[in-house]
Amino acid sequence: MPSHRKRSSRYTAPAAAIRHMAERADLSRQFGGIDHDIERIFLTLPERKLSDVLESYGSTYGATAEQYARETYQKWSSGSTKMSGQTAARLLELLPPVLSATQRFDLVKKLRAYHFQRKSVRIQSSPASWRHDLVKPLQELVGSSATFKIPEELKEKATWLMDGDIAAAQSLLAAAEQDEAAVRIAYVEEEMRRIEALMSNIDTTRRLTHTLTLPQGDITLRVELPQRTLMQRLTGWMR
């Protein structure tokens, strides 16, 4: 019996460690890695602010949880003990509201970038219609910044994501993405002229491909070029 108990405890600890690692990995996948940013901030808090956070931790999650956090803090700092998914999730809920506006903004920016799905659009067109064919995809792509929302399941686990300040941060990020897109689109006319110049100098039937990269995604335009007649080639050569 003693040997059985020893064997059981030997395998229980690794099983628990594996479970904690899996929980932490799952949390990181959901939150785009900002749990590691929050852990880093937590482990570098000034002494007074750290004490306040730990007291709040105890008020929210119980005296036993607070005691464990205080006793394990140095081990987390040294890396000898890895922070569990449960502890990281608690800090993810508790810490951001007491951070600076800049720190919260950076967290939201990273979370948004992780969950925002950039699109890849391919357009097959012709020399006569490719300008027209670009308009709607461009509008839809740029507009996706304004319609993006952080997944609701994340807001349930980190209620600070529903604060008015966070909504304002998202609006600022969306506006920045749209402004950047507008700057890039301003060069579309120049790119169009470049494409047209390429078209006029290609003598054989071929496909011309051009990609416009925006914060919201990429648009790849493919234009089938007709074969130029011998007279057109000669005229172009004589110019």
Read off the pLDDT of residues 108-163 as tens digits, 9 standing for 90 and up.
Answer: 999 999 999 999 999 999 888 888 998 899 889 988 988 898 999 999 999 999 98
Give the confidence band of 200 by pLDDT, cuts at 50, 70, 90: low
Segments of 54-193 assigned E as strands: 119-125
* Separation between Cα atoms, residue 48 and residue 98, nearest integer Å: 13
The token duo for 6 is 């020893």
How many Cβ atoms are within 10 Å of 29's Cβ, its own excluded? 11
Give the pLDDT of residue 198.
Answer: 67
Residue 10: the pLDDT is 46
Inter-CA distances, 175 with 55, 112, 151, 163, Å: 38, 13, 19, 19
The values of phi and psi at residue 32, to 5°, are: 60, 25
For residue 3, pLDDT beyond 50: no
- Whether 30 contacts 89, CB under 8 Å: no
The CA distances from residue 77 to 6, 41, 72, 110, 203, in Å, are 31, 11, 9, 23, 67
State the chain's maximal CA–CA distance in angstroms: 100
